[in-house]
């Protein structure tokens, strides 16, 4: 997949995971990896960017004697996911157009 396209899709995938509930880095990587390849070194800059834009917030919580940083989706993140879903129909038409051009 094209790097720029993948970057945008990864943002949405992270937000989609967080829409299900707060989570932490390693778990987010595990959840997304079933759909698209992502590493922790790729994830953390995405999480920082989403946090800086107000799409996610963070809090710390103890887990098995260690402090774990959790990420939680905020309203701008929910809106970003909805915008992506609203664009799906348009993207589907574009893909169908491109596929049709390949069959001629």
How far from the centroid of its chain's Cα atoms is residue 19's Cα? 10
Strand partners, 63: 66
pLDDT in tens, 10-36: 999 999 999 999 999 999 999 999 888
Where exactly are the structural domains of the chain? 3-102
CB atoms within 10 A of CB 12: 15
Q: What band does 1 get if pLDDT is binned at 50, 70 and 90? A: low
Global pTM reads 0.83
CATH number of the domain located at residue range(s) 3-102 in this protein: 1.10.10.10
């Amino acid at each position: 997949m094209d790097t720029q396209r993948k970057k945008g899709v990864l943002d949405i995938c992270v937000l989609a995971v967080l829409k299900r509930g707060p989570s932490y880095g390693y778990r987010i990587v595990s959840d997304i990896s079933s759909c698209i390849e992502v590493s922790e070194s790729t994830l953390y800059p995405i999480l920082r960017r989403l946090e800086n834009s107000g799409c996610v917030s963070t809090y710390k919580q103890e887990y098995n004697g260690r402090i774990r940083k959790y990420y939680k989706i905020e309203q701008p993140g929910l809106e970003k996911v909805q915008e992506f879903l609203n664009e799906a129909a348009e993207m589907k038409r574009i893909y169908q157009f491109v596929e049709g051009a390949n069959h001629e």
